[in-house]
Amino acid sequence: MLAIEGGRPVRPRGSFLVFGAPAIGEEEIAAVVDSLRKRWIGTGPKVAKFERDFAAYKGAHHAIAVGSCTAALHLSLLSLNLEPGDEVVTTSMTFCSTVNAILHAGAKPVLADCDRRTMNLTAETIEAHLTSRTRAIIVVHMCGRVCPMPEILALARRRGLVVIEDCAHAIEATCEGIGAGRLGELGCFSFYATKNLTTAEGGMILTASADTADRLRRLALHGLSADAYRRFSDAGYRHYFMTQPGFKYNMTDIQAAIGIEQLRKVETHWQRRAQIWQEYKAAFEDLPCYLPPRMPEGSRHGYHLFTPLLDLDRLSVSRDRILQAMTAENIGVGVHYLPVHAHPYYASGWDWKRGDFPNAEFIGDRTISLPLTGDLSPRAVGDVITAFRRVLTYYHR
């Protein structure tokens, strides 16, 4: 008997498995305490170190730490000097901030559909929406699966477009040996609490251009000519000059302190998630759902979200009932995502309606994200498997 039907939950009362709870250890806690004791809590030496470490991990020329991936996307778009009426193509199958950032940069968001299996944009779905006003493409590497970048980059080159990568799910992912975030001109990362690497809140931009890196740094801190670290160091008093009204998008040393420690563990956590991924796939093969596809040979999965698509034709209830049933078993679940064009703001006053992006809608109606964190215990993974099997078997028709 399912818990939602009055039975006993798989996990006992008081031990709810929170979806996306971060893998935080004593090292992160000690690093934050160290920052507090040193009284350097703003942007300082730890941010500089985190940027160096992250650039080294990704093999990137320049890494600019910011307050969020949303800020990273916003600044990346601003660095393109877009004009009103310029269009940026992205996917409807993403978190809303990918699209909001285009609005904030003063450009027009243009949505494209995704592939039903990979959940990613393809060169074909993008090309259908290119016009003479298109200036850039934001690809989103959903769940940690890198988009088909060779084709997309070839299309962008042919049409003279800039490619920005939303790598919020894809820190560890690669495409033909090149790290996500270095495939296009700009790569944006999220260190939000639920992401593969967290700083509580935070983001990073990668670029190969020293000029762009310099502009992004200024824009991220009021448009000042020198950052606070240099301003308050013992190298002597320095005036600062504002050269352009920028934003308050800097990362703090408290956040970077967490990030430095998280980065040391990023591969260990990735390996654990890869292992859980295989366990889930093996355990759910016979259930009425479509399991996530494999990556193409030579590419590396980021394993950020494990998202079976429920086979509604073989289930007697809706996806939302399954979400409730899992929650009743004391297992936290997520939805990634309801398509962007289904959100009230974009559903009215914009040119989009249900039916426009059938694959994004197909996914949005069926997807459920199960817990996948680098420190999940074998017991917790076993509970997720027991609960998901129990719920889907119960409602199988």
Ligand X SMILES: *Cc1c(COP(=O)(O)O)cnc(C)c1O
Shorter beta-carbon distance to ligand X: residue 80 or 168: 168
Pairwise CA distance, residues 169 & 146, whole Å: 9
Instruction: Tell me whether residue 42 is exposed, middle or buried, using C-beta atoms within 10 angstroms of its C-beta: 0 to 12, 13 to 18, 19 or more.
Output: middle
Active-site entry in 195, 248, 281, 353: 195
Q: How far is the CB of 382 from ligand X (least distance, A)?
A: 27
Inter-residue contact 75 to 209 (CB < 8 Å)? no
195 is catalytic: yes
Shorter beta-carbon distance to ligand X: residue 192 or 395: 192
Shorter beta-carbon distance to ligand X: residue 263 or 287: 263
- Nearest CA to 290 among 216, 373, 363? 363
Q: What does the block give as tokens for 146?
A: 């890198």
First to last CA, the chain: 16
Q: How far is the CB of 255 from ligand X (least distance, A)?
A: 11
Inter-residue contact 360 to 93 (CB < 8 Å)? yes
DSSP character for 93? S
Q: How far is the CB of 168 from ligand X (least distance, A)?
A: 3
**Exposure string (b/e) for 304-316, b if CB count within 10 Å is 16 or more?**
bbbbbbbebeebe
Q: How far is the CB of 288 from ligand X (least distance, A)?
A: 27
Q: Look up residue 219 and give its amino acid.
A: L
Q: Specify the 3-state DSSP secondary structure of 253.
A: helix
How many helices (H) and strands (E) the chain has is answered by: 14, 11
Shorter beta-carbon distance to ligand X: residue 142 or 325: 142
Binding site for ligand X (CB under 6 A): 68-70, 94-95, 97-98, 140, 166, 168-169, 190, 192, 203
Rg (CA), the chain: 22
Q: How far is the CB of 191 from ligand X (least distance, A)?
A: 7
User: What is the phi-psi region of residue 349: left when phi exceeds 0, alpha when psi lies from -120 to 50, beta otherwise?
Assistant: left
Shorter beta-carbon distance to ligand X: residue 43 or 330: 43
Pairwise CA distance, residues 330 & 325, whole Å: 9
Pairwise CA distance, residues 54 & 190, whole Å: 12
Q: How far is the CB of 222 from ligand X (least distance, A)?
A: 20
Pairwise CA distance, residues 10 & 353, whole Å: 40
Shorter beta-carbon distance to ligand X: residue 336 or 366: 336
Q: Which residues are catalytic?
A: 195
